[in-house]
Homo-oligomer: A and B are copies of this chain.
Amino acid sequence: EIARAAAALLRKVKGPVGPLAGRKVLITAGPTHEPIDPVRYIANRSSGKQGYAIAAAAAAAGAEVTLVSGPVSLADPDGVTVVRVESAREMLTAVEAALPADVAIMAAAVADWRMAEDAAQKIKKDGSGKPPTLQFAENPDILATLGHHAALRPRLLVGFAAETQNVLDNAASKLTRKNADWIVANDVSPATGIMGGDRNTVHLVSRDGVEDWPDLAKGEVATRLVERIAFALGARDA
């Protein structure tokens, strides 16, 4: 109790303490929703739990954290600036507005596609029995945009790859194509219970190879990742 009060006092006097003190960390979390018409949208099963846990762990490690979050039913983590968005395009705008950052961790499950045009009015059955044809357009790739950013690429850029097959191949290819430093890859097949659940089994993919982490609580994955980030930044500073 006294120790905690002393630590809080110290933070007030000296600013944040901890292995990420003085670092700006940008995190995305949750799904995006892509509107079809005023009442319908395309979504995905991301709960945001892993990204929120990383934001909380980074803040606890002393970082100045901005969390850009899609629609989730989670409370804002303590000491984190939360920007809430709905679509992939809104998320990209919020991410770019939050630059520069020392570290960016793109944990959101961003929709690859949106409607080419979302309808101003609710789409009705036309009586023909034929469903409407929806035209899709590719969404901006937020991870690749940061990875190839000429002036403001974060020093350490971490992407996520949620796959249901060829997990490691897809992650390695994503690392290269998007110019990320690390990809946190996991298998989100429904049988794993990872999407929406409280545990996660991830692989940390970098240019040095693949590290398999054991099955962990999402909070433990977050703590480990933040420790690794602090270590990597320290090594780059040295």
Could you list which residues of chain A lie within 8 angstroms of chain B, going by C-beta atoms? 33, 36-46, 73, 109, 111-113, 121-125, 129, 131-132, 134-138, 162-165, 170, 188-190, 195
Cβ A112 vs Cβ B125 within 8 A? yes
Contact partners of A113 in chain B: CB under 8 A = 131-132
Most buried by B among A73, A124, A170, A190: A124
Contact partners of A41 in chain B: CB under 8 A = 42-45
Cβ B39 vs Cβ A40 within 8 A? no
9 more CB-based (< 8 A) A-B contacts, given A39-B46, A112-B123, A122-B165? A38-B189, A40-B43, A41-B42, A42-B43, A113-B131, A122-B164, A131-B136, A132-B136, A134-B134
Given known A-B contacts A39-B195, A41-B44, A42-B36, A131 and B121 have beta carbons under 8 A apart: no
When chains A and B are docked, how far (Å) is the Cα of A159 from the Cα of B224?
52
Main DSSP-derived SS at the A contact region? loop
- Chain B residue nearest to A138 (CB atoms) is B131
Cβ A125 vs Cβ B138 within 8 A? yes
What distance in Å separates the Cβ of A116 from its nearest Cβ neighbour in chain B?
8
Most buried by B among A36, A111, A164, A165: A164
Cβ A164 vs Cβ B43 within 8 A? no
Name the one of B38, B73, B132, B162 contacting A73, with C-beta atoms under 8 angstroms.
Answer: B73
When chains A and B are docked, how far (Å) is the Cα of A94 from the Cα of B79?
45
Cβ A39 vs Cβ B131 within 8 A? no
- Chain B residue nearest to A122 (CB atoms) is B164
Name the one of B39, B45, B124 contacting A39, with C-beta atoms under 8 angstroms.
Answer: B45
Contact partners of A162 in chain B: CB under 8 A = 39, 122
Cβ B39 vs Cβ A121 within 8 A? no
When chains A and B are docked, how far (Å) is the Cα of A8 from the Cα of B121?
48
